[in-house]
Structure 1
Amino acid sequence: MTAAPPSATDVLIVGAGIAGASLAAALAPWRRVMLIEGEDAPGYHATGRSAAFWHESYGGVGVQPLTRASLETLNSPSPGFSDHGFLSPRGALTLGQRSEAAAVDAFTAEFAARGVDIDRMSGAPVADMVPGLRDEWREAAYEAACRDIDVGGLHAAYLRAAKREGATLITRAPLRRARRVGEGWDVELSDGRVRAALIVNAAGAWADEVAGACGIKPVGIQPYRRTVMQVRLGVPVPADLPLVVHVGGEFYFKGQSEGRIWLTPHDETPAVPHDAAPEEMDVALAIDRLQSVVDWPVVAVERKWAGLRSFAPDRMPVFGADPHEPAFIWCAGQGGFGIQTAPAIARLLAAQLGAPEPAGMMGRVDAALYAPARFA
């Protein structure tokens, strides 16, 4: 799919992770689209390092409408997009100690009021779902609808769909700078130039840097390092263990295979955009937190990795035209929920750029809530 850049395009999308790839697929039937990626392959950073799941309450009430609206595409995509869904059963427990029962109550009530299928649980039913759970950790909210997402399969499907509709992907092509020329942009890449009517900034952790290179005021996208590891245990924890998320945001873990879990301390260490790597202190912190919750001996840390999760100041996604430069389009700030919201964000933003308005659940989302104008 890599090719020499054409001389001009309608829409230049900067960044070929899940945000850029999904938008390219949604927009390519209606506009000429070029997708540029600074790395050797798309999805190298946040997308390729995601332990993603579809969890309706994850990310908060502001993100939940986008998560819900994305479910149909993830679960039952159109035949032309994929011949199978991208979700598999998991279930999720938002877990607290006895002293956090009120927090779990509030969490449950908040999302139940929004129509989320969520059940308040306490005591033995919680312990039955997580073998080895310590006595003080028996307060929980359960979401049976939580699913794992096949991130690699979803990302690849979006790239294939974009290619079928004529989009061009160019790798090893970071945007160096861009300036307005007439009604469009003159864009300098690492090796060549291109003219574009619109620039879409889907550069993840680099979003503010790309804005600066285009002469656009940043909105305050801050990258944070997130550490994840695969841990082998000394007990036969089942592979279908639910996703277990601390109500206070200090950890989550889920079954990976028999006797193995994926674990994170849910760290958010402010970082500059870079190729993130795990730090031993965060690995140790994750294990310490895990062992305060469950009576599971840790035999080995088999793998560990880190990625960058990027947030706007209000921790909501940012997509839409810049308030001062309508030919510069933001698609950034997806935090740790970018995979589970990508279908809805792509369709809503594509509609602003010339594609038809989405129907159904997506059409009922108020895209104005996520517009960059809120930072003006």
Structure 2
Amino acid sequence: MSQQTADIIVIGGGIAGISAAAEMAKSAKVLVLEAEAQPGYHSTGRSAAIYIRNYGNAVLRAINALSEPTLAQPGGISDHSLLSPRGELLIASEDEMPSLEAYAAGATGLERMTGAEAAKMVPILRPEPIAAAIYESSAQSIDVDRMLQDYVKLLKARGGTIIAKARAQKIARQGGAWQIEASGTLYTAPIVVNAAGAWADAVAALAGVAAMGLQPMRRSAALLNLGPEHDVESWPLFGTTAETWYAKPDAGKLMVSPADEDPVDPHDAWPDDMVLAEGLHRYEQAVTVPVTRVEHSWAGLRTFAPDRTPVVGFAPDADGFFWLAGQGGYGVQTAPALSQTAAALIEGRAPKLAQPALDALTPGRFFSN
């Protein structure tokens, strides 16, 4: 069996693993093992591609804010901004007002609107059922493909290596180093970073490390063509504060998601026809244009820890095993901040993220005394 050694091995070539590897490659020899034929095949390649500062719990909002400067001015990663103007409009019926108030609590930069004002911004919305709306002008589209490819280029420029079709089959700690068997090669490093997304708990099990209770959730989407009479590119992302559906302009068409969160096992996800149909029906009830044909549909996995906060830090039960998982639906927009945080923790530097947020991310929070 051939062998390769490194200072750090990252398992998982999604945006989380690739961006962290690129950050760590500044001062270490880094290998990325990706099970698929190319990086970003699963959740990264099926992202809604949106930056929303107020999306998620308080910890995630702090991470989002820390990521924004890098996304806006990614010097050293990309030659120009990874963001472009979009905006986010969330509507609420009378019954959904508690979810609107919960979203607005602790949020910044929101503008309240009436149903009529919301329908003026997105002309296909029915204003009558809308009790209130909130608009976040700072929400922006993310060029996810360019972001991933630019991090790949940065990683390689710093001497890092990505090995595709290298699914970990055995992981063991011997002589102060981790040994990983993948596709007929033995990879060895003192530190392994578990950035395997939906498969992160399975990777931990291979290594004999306690699981975090991560749960992959399926999220479906469909692409609709509303025709030339609708200038969808001028619209913001729009949906309900209760997350019963959302829609986002996509190259002149409209991507609509049922905002489903169905627990599933890790797999190459595909949409459930009934779930998609029910979600499109909810969307139809809010707009004036019926769904006549779905051009394309797909699904991805969003993997959450039990408290819906990412898991970032060294495992308390295994030397040199670092968790970078559980990003849920926030993986792309949190990647700059979490990759910088992971690199700092591994190198023994103080991260930019405030201590309360770091404490909320640590894997040790799931361990009792």
TM-score, scaled relative to structure 2: 0.94
2:12 to 15, 18, 35: 15
2:80 paired residue number:
84
Give the structure 1 partner of residue 180 of structure 2. Answer: 187
1:94 to partner: Cα distance: 1.9
Q: Is the 8 A contact 1:229 1:263 kept in 2?
A: yes
2:244 equivalent in structure 1:
250
Aligned to 2:308: 315
Show the counterpart of 1:120. Answer: 112
Secondary structure, aligned partner of 1:353 = helix
Alignment partner, residue 168 of structure 1: 161
> Quick check: 2:4–2:185 contact (8 Å CA) kept in 1?
no
| Residue number in structure 2 paired with 1:198 | 191
Matches of 1:119 and 1:274, distance apart in 2: 39
Task: Report the equivalent of 1:111.
Answer: 106
Alignment of 1:196-235 (within 5 A): 196-233=189-226
Match of 1:144 among 126, 137, 143: 137
Judging changes above 3 Å, is the alpha-carbon distance between structure 1 residues 168 and 106 closer, same or farther for their aligned structure 2 residues? closer
Structure 2 unmatched runs, 5+:
none
Q: Distance in 1 between matches of 2:83 and 2:360?
A: 27
Gap runs ≥5 in structure 1:
none
Matched residue type, 2:106: F
Amino acid at match of 1:372: P
For 2:3 and 2:32, locate their aligned partners in 1 and report how far apart those are by CA, in whole Å: 11
Report how far residue 5 of structure 1 moved: 7.7
Structure 1 CA distance, aligned partners of 2:354 and 2:9? Answer: 25
> Structure 1 residue 370 and structure 2 residue 353: aligned?
no
Contact 1:19–1:331 (CA under 8 A) maintained in structure 2? yes
Q: Is 1:328 the counterpart of 2:321 in the alignment?
A: yes
Distance of 1:5 and 1:166 partners within structure 2: 20
Find the aligned partners of 2:161 and 2:315 in 1 and give their Cα distance: 24
Equivalent residue letter for 1:57: N
TM-fit CA distance, 1:111: 2.7
Pairwise CA distance, 1:283: 2.1
Q: Which digits, 9 at most, give the CA deviation of each residue in 1:18-56, with x for residues without a partner? A: 010000111001111110000111111000111220011
Q: Is 2:33 the counterpart of 1:41?
A: no
Shift of 1:255: 1.8
Distance of 1:74 and 1:365 partners within structure 2 = 23
Structure 1 contact 100–139 (Cα < 8 Å) conserved:
no
* d(CA) in 1 for partners of 2:54, 2:91: 13
Deviations 1:134-154 (CA, angstroms, capped at 9, x unpaired): 211241111100000000000
User: Identity over the aligned pairs, expressed in percent?
Assistant: 39
Contact 2:3 2:185 (8 Å CA) reproduced: no
CA contact (8 A) 1:13 1:202 kept: yes
Deviates more, 1:221-230 or 1:296-305: 296-305
